[in-house]
Structure 1
Amino acid sequence: MTYSAATTRYDIMPYRRCGASGLKLPAISLGLWHNFGDIDRLDTQRALLRAAFDRGVTHFDLANNYGPPAGSAEVNFGRIFAEDFKPHRDELIISTKAGWQMWDGPYGSMTGTRKHLIASCDQSLKRMRLDYVDIFYSHRPDPHTPVEETMGALATLVQQGKALYVGISNYGPELTQKAADILKSLGVPLLISQPNYSLLDRWIEPALLETNARNGVGTIVFSPLAQGFLSDKYLSGLPEDSRAARLDWVRAGLTDAKLALIHKLNELAKARGQTLARMALAWTLKDARVTSTLIGARTVEQLTDSLSALDNLAFDDNELTQLDQLTREALPGIFTAPPKSTGQDLIDNPHFKA
């Protein structure tokens, strides 16, 4: 069935300026980390992308290793793009990333080399059937490659016309500053930084947010629902079909202290007239320095529910104070564990390998 985009698609979604650039992104963007691999239904993927765009979601975020298998999310997106969204290419911001294991041999491993990044971008463009991407990211810091080489590769992709903008993901504040300085010297500004951020993981406060703002860099956050913990999914136990039930590293993060906190946060959400998930998403957007928050969805119903967070983005001072007190008391370490500038901890962390 031929897709006809909703004529009302720009009526409700707020758009935020990305750092010091003139580019605007939707307050909520759609990430394809999960649910777009070959193990998932193409018709569901198509329905999700259509429903998102019809509601003003103009930014789709991918990476070359998304799937499974790696690369399949880009292939599936590329097929749907060619069939449904090609007439709307200039209405979309499409991003992808590279830096994790992708192919055999030393050049396809977890690395930030010039060889890997430029080859990865070329492969991604072919998989997605695109002439260029709007944003290309270094997906992770590489402790074995000089940041000058990694940023130089990003600049080359812009100069070659393969990417309009460049970004970094999972970089701490010190390395972000260095990356921004290098790119500025090359005449290609750093557009955006993509860290994880949620009520259960607030490490970007304040240093990374301040570093990004000082350098005119936008911030788009992923995992705003903390792998689903910030939803009603775990309020009554561990569902058999949940990510925590399937993945040991996710289940290990569901501590008694975190469960108790989730129940308290849910009571605050009820007082606001929101579900826990909607409040958690709205909270990530409370700071104007956050350009956009990335959501994932398995169904159109999940997508619609998440987008309903836009109905109430305002927090009063009392609500913010309560949220701060609850998270500080229950999880005192969440403000003090940023990724190390070397990136070695990311290599060893299964969260970033999923």
Structure 2
Amino acid sequence: MPEHRIDRTHETHRPYAAAEDRYDSIAYRPVGGSGLVLPPLSLGLWWNFGDNRPFATQREILRHAFDRGITHFDLANNYGPPYGSAEENFGRMMVKDFAPYRDEIVVSSKAGYDMWPGPYGLGGSRKYILASAEASLQRMNLDYVDIFYSHRPTPDVPLEETIGALDTLVRQGKALYVGISSYSPERTAEAAEIARRLGTPLVIHQPSYSLLNRWVEDGLLETLERENMGSIAFTPLAQGLLTNKYLENPDATPSGGRSSLAGLTEENLAIVKNLGRLAAERGQTLAQMSIAWLLRSGGVTSVLIGSSSTNQLDDNLGALANTRFTDAELQLIDRITAGEPGVDLWRSQSEV
């Protein structure tokens, strides 16, 4: 793994005490048929929590999130940049800030994408999943994670081996629950059956899902309901397209590791503008409406948001003020987003 330096110049040593009213304004949602509940918004540490951002800023965001009732922090072995740095930074915060609150926090991690060189550093093999999970726990200064995912399907590895490795993590006490990410409806059903036979059910699926990326509606949501699994949507703002950024500045172009230039087309910008008008009529920003739509009846359990500031976090939390849509609004959204906007970078992974 590449060397990296951690900026400690602006760390604060003030002890952290969580807000006493942190649970007063959020209604937690059940994860499928399990006993686990999640907040409607969960915080993902994919891109803004590596060594590309000041540690003090990261710490401020996580503290603020927990103070606002966001109890779920989602990571993966290769989140950064560089790989592993998000888990390392989170591990420092666990020790310095969140250790007294460990039993109030849901931490998730994953393995599947490339993490280290050679044939054993990616995929769905038992060797990789178990080794990666152990390394993640060490980086995060944890004895266990609450949820561990198979980060992606791996067609050249028997599904029984991948799901069996997840079962082993639960039996070893290194994960309380397990799930999968970006699996197709058919492969999800097969994985769920294997997990049931092993005695460690899959409780959650993490797919990409947004107003501009609705592949999960072609069978996956129905499969999850049938299998009694929860769901948590990543890239809910379509890699930045579903924000007011492009309404206020039509010449803006996506930048950074979380955006897709392929999604920035004239057709998609027209869709975004039409959605923005509807959001304004609802008294919401485009981002707020996009998040609220995912949380509508028949949507997902939780929405995985990223954040580069506490202001951005608060704006996204504003979506919870109105997650109801009239039939006319839902029909209009369907008309606006008809077709295939083509902003899903994970579609090929989900088709296997």
Quick check: TM above 0.5?
yes
Residue 322 (str. 1) matches residue 335 (str. 2)? no
Contact 2:76–2:110, Cα closer than 8 Å, also in 1: yes
Q: Which residue in the other structure is 1:346 paired with?
A: none
Q: 2:342, 2:82 → 1: CA distance? A: 34
Q: Secondary structure at the match of 1:290?
A: coil
1:207-261 per-position Cα deviation (integer Å, ceiling 9, x unaligned):
100101101110110010000100011122243xx6x234697112111110000
3-state SS, counterpart of residue 167 of structure 1: strand
- Superposed, 1:222-237 pairs within 5 Å as 222-235=234-247, 236-237=249-250
Residues 278 and 342 (structure 1 numbering): CA distance in 2 closer, same or farther, change over 3 Å? closer
CA contact (8 A) 2:144 2:174 kept: yes
Cα distance between partner residues in 2 of 1:2 and 1:172: 45
User: Which residue pairs with 1:95 in the alignment?
Assistant: 108
Residues 296, 341 of structure 1: CA spacing in aligned structure 2 closer, same or farther, 3 A cutoff?
A: closer
| 1:210–1:334 CA distance, 2 compared to 1 (3 A) | farther
Give CA-to-partner distance per residue, 1:178-216, whole Å, 9 cap, x none.
Answer: 100000000000010000000000000041001011011
Q: Match of 1:279?
A: 289
Aligned counterparts of 1:77 and 1:5: Cα–Cα separation in 2: 17
Report % sequence identity: 56
For residue 175 of structure 1, the aligned residue among 187, 192, 198 is 187
Question: Match for 2:83: what amino acid?
Answer: A
Distance 1:289 1:7 in 2: 30
1:96-130 Cα deviation digits (max 9, x unpaired): 0001111122111x311000000000000000000
Query: 141, 148, 152: which is aligned to 2:164?
Result: 152
Normalising to structure 2: TM-score of the pair?
0.92
Q: Is the 8 A contact 1:224 1:293 kept in 2?
A: yes
Post-superposition shift, 1:290? 1.2
- Report the Cα distance in structure 2 between the residues aligned to 1:261 and 1:234, rounded to whole angstroms: 11
The question of whether the paired residues in 1 share the 8 Å contact of 2:183 and 2:351 is answered with no
Work out which of the residue numbers 271, 290, 308 in structure 2 matches 1:261: 271
Change in Cα spacing, 1:7 to 1:207, as seen in structure 2 (3 Å) is: same
Shift of 1:139: 0.3
**Runs of at least 5 residues in structure 2 that lack an aligned partner in the other structure:** 1-13
Counterpart in 2 of 1:306? 316
Alignment of 1:76-87 (within 5 A): 76-87=89-100
Change (3 A) 1:340 1:67: closer
Residue pair 2:33, 2:228 contacting (<8 A) in 1 also: yes
Amino acid in the other structure paired with 2:270: A
1:217 aligned partner: 229
In 1, Cα distance between equivalents of 2:147 and 2:281: 39
Q: In 2 relative to 1, CA 287–62 (structure 1 residues): closer, same or farther, beyond 3 Å? A: same
Change in Cα spacing, 1:92 to 1:237, as seen in structure 2 (3 Å) is same
| Alignment-mate amino acid for residue 317 of structure 1 | D
Q: Shift in Å at residue 342 of structure 1?
A: 6.2
Query: Is the CA contact 2:75–2:110 (under 8 Å) kept in the aligned structure 1?
Result: yes
Preserved CA contact (<8 Å) 1:204 1:338: no
Question: Aligned partners of 1:207, 1:334: CA distance in 2, in Å?
Answer: 19
Taking the aligned partners of 1:70 and 1:268, their CA distance within structure 2 comes to 39
Q: Structure 1 residues 341, 266: CA separation in 2 closer, same or farther (over 3 Å shift)?
A: closer
**Alignment match of 1:161 (pick from 170, 173, 176):** 173
**Aligned mate of 1:250, from 236, 251, 260:** 260
| 1:338 positional shift | 5.4
Q: Compared with structure 1, are the counterparts of its residues 43 and 238 closer, same or farther at alpha carbon in structure 2 (3 Å cutoff)? A: farther
2:344 is the counterpart of 1:331:
no
Aligned residues: 337
Within 2, Cα distance between the matches of 1:68 and 1:333? 26
Q: What is the Cα deviation at residue 298 of structure 1?
A: 0.4
Q: Does residue 293 of structure 1 match 2:293?
A: no
Alpha carbons of structure 1 residues 184 and 228: separation in structure 2 relative to 1, 3 Å:
same
Q: What amino acid does structure 1 have at the position aligned with 2:72?
A: H
Aligned residue type for 1:250:
S
CA shift digits 1:161-190 (9 cap, x unpaired): 000000100111000001000000000000
Q: Return the alpha-carbon distance in structure 2 between the equivalents of residues 40 and 333 of structure 1.
A: 30
Q: Which residue does 1:195 correspond to in 2?
A: 207
Q: Which amino acid aligns with 1:198?
A: S
The CA distance in 1 between the partners of 2:327 and 2:278, in whole Å, is 13
SS at match of 1:95: strand
Aligned to 1:24: 37
Aligned-pair Cα RMSD in Å:
1.8
What's the secondary structure of 2:208's corresponding residue? coil
Q: 1:197, 1:223 within 8 Å by CA — same for their partners in 2?
A: yes
Deviation at 1:331, TM superposition (A): 3.4
Equivalent residues of 1:98, 1:138 under 8 A apart: yes
Indicate conservation of the 8 Å contact 1:175/1:341, yes or no.
Answer: no
Distance, in Å, in 1 between the alignment partners of 2:263 and 2:201 is 36
